Amino acid sequence: MSLGRRDFLKGLVACGTLAVMQRPAWASVGVMSPAVRPGESPLLLRTGTLVDQEFFGAVQAVLGSVGVAAAERLQLDRSDLARPQNLQRGLQSARGRCVVGVIEGAHAPLLFELLRSAGVAVPCAGEHSDAGPIADGASRHRLLTTPASYGIAALLQRGVPAALVEEHALGVATVPVPTTVPRDQPTGHWAAVTGHLLARVAVGTWKPSPPLARRPGLPPTDDQPTRHYASFVLQLPA
C-alpha cells in the first residue's frame, strides 16, 4: 500500500483551524450553526447501500424544500471506505463542507477513527439495524445527538412506531420543550425518516427538543436484524 506521506499527514492534521461556531442564546453545551453554509448544499456520501433510495430520497426532499436543487455527491465509493488513504483524500476534498450519508455499519469504525483524527464535527450520527430491505418494523436504532440535533430520536420513534430507538444525547443542556407537535412529522421506512431528520439538522431547520427518554424494561427481541448501517451529518473543518 503506497501513500504519499504529505497527503497522509495533511489528512491526519486537517483540523488545523475549526470553523467559528455561533451560539444561540438558549443553548449551553456548545452549538454549531447549521452545518451547511448559506447558498451551499451538503455533499451526499452514497455508497450503494440497500437503503440509499429511501434515505437520500428523503434528504433530497428536505433540500428541495429549502431551495437546494441537487446536492453534489462526495467522491467516495464502497471500496474506498476500507482504505484509509482514499477516505482521507475524500475528506480532504470536502474541507469546509457538510456531508450527509449512510454507509454499511461495518465501515463505520474506520470512518469514525479518521473523522476524529481530522477534527471533523459530528452533529448527529446513528447506528441502525434492520431485517432486510423492506422490513421497517423489526428495526433498531441508536442515535448520538448533540445540541444541534437533540430530540430527533423522538421523531424517529414516532415516525416508525414499531422500531426500537435509543438516544445518547451528548452533554446536559436546557432545551425548550416544544408546545406543539411538529406538523411535518415524517413517517415510513426508518431510512426515509432518518434521512429527513438528518437533512433538517444539516440545513438548520431542526429545532432541538428534549432527548428521548430511556425506556425501562426494553422488551427482548426475537427478530434478528441482519443488516447494519451508520448514518451521519458531518461538518468538515475548513
Partner 1 sequence: MSSPYLALPQGVSAEQFGRAIAEFRTILGEEHVITDAAVLAPYTKIMLPVADAQHAPSAAILPQDVEQIQRIVAVCNRYRVPVWPISTGRNLGYGSAAPATPGQVVLDLRRMNRILEVDPELCTALVEPGVTYQQLYDYIQERNLPLWLSCPAPSAIAGPLGNTVDRGVGYTPYGEHFLFSCGMEVVLADGQVLRTGMGSIPNSNTWQVFKWGYGPSLDGIFTQSNYGIVTKLGMWLMPAPPAYKPFVVRYPQRTDIERIVETIRPLRIAMIIPNAVVIAGVLWEAGVFVRRSDYYQGAGQIDEAAVARIMKEHDLGYWNVYAALYGTPEQIEVNWKIVEGAFKASGGEILTENEVGHSPVFRYRADLMRGNMNLQEFGLYNWRGGGGSLWFAPVSQSRGSETLKQMEMAQRILKKHGLDYVGEFIVGWRDMHHIIDVLFDRTDPVQMQSAYACFDELLAEFTAAGYGNYRTNTAFMDKVANTYGPVKRDVDRRLKRALDPNGIIAPGKSGIHI
Task: Quote the CA–CA distance of 192 and 221 in Å, as a whole number.
Answer: 23
| DSSP annotation of 160 | S
CA–CA separation, 54 and 223 (whole Å):
22
All cell numbers assigned to 161: 412506531
The single residue among 59, 120, 199, 212 that binds partner 1, judged by CB under 8 A, is 120
- Give yes or no for a contact between 30 and 147, defined as CB atoms under 8 angstroms apart: yes
- The minimum distance between CB 64 and partner 1, in angstroms, equals 25
* Secondary structure letter of residue 73 according to DSSP: B
**Does residue number 21 form part of the binding site for partner 1 (CB under 8 A)?**
yes
Alpha helices in 119-222 (DSSP H): 152-159, 190-203
- Site size for partner 1 (CB under 8 A): 70
Query: Hunting for cell 415510513 — which residue is that?
Result: 188
The CB density around residue 213, as the number of other CB atoms within 10 Å, is 9
**Closer residue to partner 1 (CB): 180 or 224:** 224
Q: Which residue has the cell 432486510?
A: 132
> x/- site string to partner 1, residues 155 to 174, per CB under 8 A?
---------x-x-x-xxxxx
Minimal distance, residue 173 CB to partner 1, in Å: 6
Q: Which of 9, 70, 134, 162 binds partner 1 (CB under 8 A)?
A: 9
Binding window for partner 1 (CB under 8 A); candidates: 29-37, 49-57, 60-68, 180-188: 29-37
Give residues in contact with partner 1 (CB under 8 A).
Answer: 1-5, 8-9, 12-13, 15-18, 21, 28-32, 82-85, 104-106, 108-110, 112-117, 119-123, 125, 127-129, 140-142, 144, 146-148, 164, 166, 168, 170-174, 218, 220-222, 224-228, 230, 235
